[in-house]
A and B are shown apart, each in its own frame.
Chain A
């Protein structure tokens, strides 16, 4: 189990390090050197415009990471506090929060992201914000369910009798119990975000080829059947990054089960 975790952390570390190394200009077009196999000058070869695939991969990596961080932060910062409040207060406040949550949940996240990014443009930040906003509903639901069960524990009821302010009960006594189980969901939602962003770019919202995303690369090169490496690299990137997040968030679950 420990080994799985270390391998995942290792892969993420290597990716961060490797993609931090100086690389060529991803928008430098060289029509005299298109579709080249990997070489010393171009470690992953070049694409149909003669651009360095390594540089494209590196830029795509940082953009994907930005999406994941933005989306996760948005979801957590909105979803967890609302879930805590809804689960602890019940009554009218709960009804309002849950109705708003249900409304965002019945709109497919991907479709919402598609609409919004079509209007404001696909940047890692805008995509992350929308994916995070519409992903927050699940955090509300999960946090609320956990809060409902934790609030019935004797140590929380004792705090009520001790006249501890509600905010303090939520932060000091309920939140730590919520955080562990949420971590596991955090991992799968981060992986989901990576796939969703790749999907958005693939669908063509990232048609601006000067800002490369892994999904855009898949879209551009989908017909390059004679050069499968061009498809392999972004696929590998998406796959590795998604599985790394999934595994990294997993130990929280396992510890709970012990």
Chain B
């Protein structure tokens, strides 16, 4: 099992005039290749910050984020970071903010395909392929983001990430804006895509039920630290920490 990303004592604080917030308070984490890890925890526990650090959207105040290629995302020069892009991808929580509102879908996607070295005459068919992989069709290419539903936009975001032949995708609460049926479809899709494309997945959620569907392992975060890690079933059936117990108790269940 090779490790794709390895975080050591990662710290990050958000400072403001009134107070400092320790978003991450010393996180150690290994992300194996071709592995799905769920990051669960309550709002504000540092999940999104951790996700953004692992794709280089932010830098930590201290610590190491070592990529398998030997680049330390926490301390490297911008040029080294660019060399890892665009293979580290992220799908954001709010589908309606994920695409430029003034561009049709094909206008947003075509430059990505072009930079991947796809020849001009092949671009449209490459875009259609990538949309079909996520359950959309050529008909969606001409739409503006406002003409697509939240679920469709999240699929389009996945398609955009897949165009980059990603090694790693952070899915940050990607289904929290969707209804239950769309949520279920999206998580199933994510599972299928992983089986086909073998990218490492960091699945950020506050829903342990979803985490079990998607992920091999689960990490529970609380107040900027990882407090529990284990197989998804194990954490769900036998939570060890208070934070994990609270999340397990929050899963809706039928009552008889």
- A→B interface (CB under 8 Å): 153-155, 157-158, 160-164, 168, 172-173, 176-177
Cross-interface CB contact of B111 among A155, A160, A164, A177, cutoff 8 Å: A164
**Which of chain B's residues have a CB closer than 8 A to the CB of A157?**
57, 90, 92
Given contacts A154-B92, A154-B94, A157-B57, contact A162 B112 (CB under 8 A): yes
Cross-interface CB contact of A161 among B55, B100, B115, cutoff 8 Å: B55
**Which of chain A's residues have a CB closer than 8 A to the CB of B253?**
none
B99 in the interface, Cβ–Cβ < 8 Å? yes
B102 in the interface, Cβ–Cβ < 8 Å? yes
How far apart are the CA atoms of A164 and B100 in the complex, in Å? 14
How far apart are the CA atoms of A155 and B94 in the complex, in Å? 10
Contact assessment for B100 and A155 in the assembled complex, using a CB-CB cutoff below 8 Å? yes
Contact assessment for A172 and B103 in the assembled complex, using a CB-CB cutoff below 8 Å? yes
Contact assessment for A172 and B92 in the assembled complex, using a CB-CB cutoff below 8 Å? no
How far apart are the CA atoms of A3 and B233 in the complex, in Å? 65
Cross-interface CB contact of B86 among A153, A154, A162, A176, cutoff 8 Å: A162
What are 22 A-B residue pairs whose CB atoms fall within 8 Å in the complex? A154-B92, A155-B98, A155-B99, A155-B100, A158-B90, A158-B157, A161-B55, A161-B57, A161-B86, A161-B89, A162-B85, A162-B89, A162-B160, A162-B164, A163-B82, A163-B85, A163-B86, A163-B115, A168-B111, A172-B100, A176-B102, A177-B102
**Which of chain B's residues have a CB closer than 8 A to the CB of A155?**
97-101
Chain A: minimal CB distance from B56 (Å): 8
Chain B interfacial residues counted at CB < 8 A? 24
Cross-interface CB contact of A153 among B97, B102, B103, B157, cutoff 8 Å: B97
How far apart are the CA atoms of A177 and B57 in the complex, in Å? 21
**Which of chain B's residues have a CB closer than 8 A to the CB of A168?**
111
**Which of chain A's residues have a CB closer than 8 A to the CB of B112?**
162, 164
Within 8 A of A (CB), among B162-216: 164
B88 in the interface, Cβ–Cβ < 8 Å? yes
**Which of chain B's residues have a CB closer than 8 A to the CB of A162?**
85-86, 89, 112, 115, 160, 164
**Which of chain A's residues have a CB closer than 8 A to the CB of B94?**
154
Given contacts A161-B57, A162-B164, A163-B115, contact A154 B98 (CB under 8 A): yes
How far apart are the CA atoms of A38 and B188 in the complex, in Å? 82
Where chain B touches its partner, the secondary structure class is loop
**Which of chain A's residues have a CB closer than 8 A to the CB of B157?**
158
B103 to A, closest residue via Cβ: A172
**Which of chain B's residues have a CB closer than 8 A to the CB of A160?**
57, 85
How far apart are the CA atoms of A57 and B8 in the complex, in Å? 75
Task: Among B94, B101, B102, find the residue whose CB has the most chain A CB atoms closer than 10 A.
Answer: B102
How far apart are the CA atoms of A177 and B97 in the complex, in Å? 13
Chain A: minimal CB distance from B174 (Å): 12
Chain A: minimal CB distance from B129 (Å): 18
Chain B: minimal CB distance from A152 (Å): 10
**Which of chain A's residues have a CB closer than 8 A to the CB of B97?**
153-155
A158 to B, closest residue via Cβ: B98
Chain A: minimal CB distance from B180 (Å): 24
How far apart are the CA atoms of A162 and B100 in the complex, in Å? 14
Chain B: minimal CB distance from A154 (Å): 4
Task: Among A157, A163, A168, A172, find the residue whose CB has the most chain B CB atoms closer than 10 A.
Answer: A163
Within 8 A of A (CB), among B131-186: 157, 160, 164
**Which of chain B's residues have a CB closer than 8 A to the CB of A158?**
90, 92, 98-99, 157, 160
**Which of chain B's residues have a CB closer than 8 A to the CB of A153?**
97
How far apart are the CA atoms of A153 and B100 in the complex, in Å? 9
How far apart are the CA atoms of A176 and B102 in the complex, in Å? 8
A150 to B, closest residue via Cβ: B100
How far apart are the CA atoms of A103 and B177 in the complex, in Å? 47
Chain B: minimal CB distance from A168 (Å): 7
How far apart are the CA atoms of A163 and B115 in the complex, in Å? 9
How far apart are the CA atoms of A154 and B86 in the complex, in Å? 16
If A172-B103, A176-B102, A177-B102 are given as contacts, then 10 extra A-B residue pairs at C-beta distance below 8 Å, sorted by A number, are A154-B94, A154-B98, A155-B101, A161-B57, A161-B88, A161-B90, A162-B89, A162-B160, A163-B115, A172-B100
How far apart are the CA atoms of A21 and B119 in the complex, in Å? 55
**Which of chain B's residues have a CB closer than 8 A to the CB of A172?**
100, 103, 111
How far apart are the CA atoms of A204 and B101 in the complex, in Å? 50
**Which of chain A's residues have a CB closer than 8 A to the CB of B88?**
161
Chain A: minimal CB distance from B212 (Å): 27
Task: Among A160, A162, A164, A168, find the residue whose CB has the most chain B CB atoms closer than 10 A.
Answer: A162
How far apart are the CA atoms of A155 and B160 in the complex, in Å? 12
**Which of chain B's residues have a CB closer than 8 A to the CB of A163?**
82, 85-86, 115
Q: Considering the complex of A and B, which 10 residue pairs feature the smallest CB-CB distances, nearest first?
A: A163-B85, A154-B92, A163-B86, A154-B97, A155-B100, A176-B102, A162-B86, A154-B98, A173-B100, A162-B112
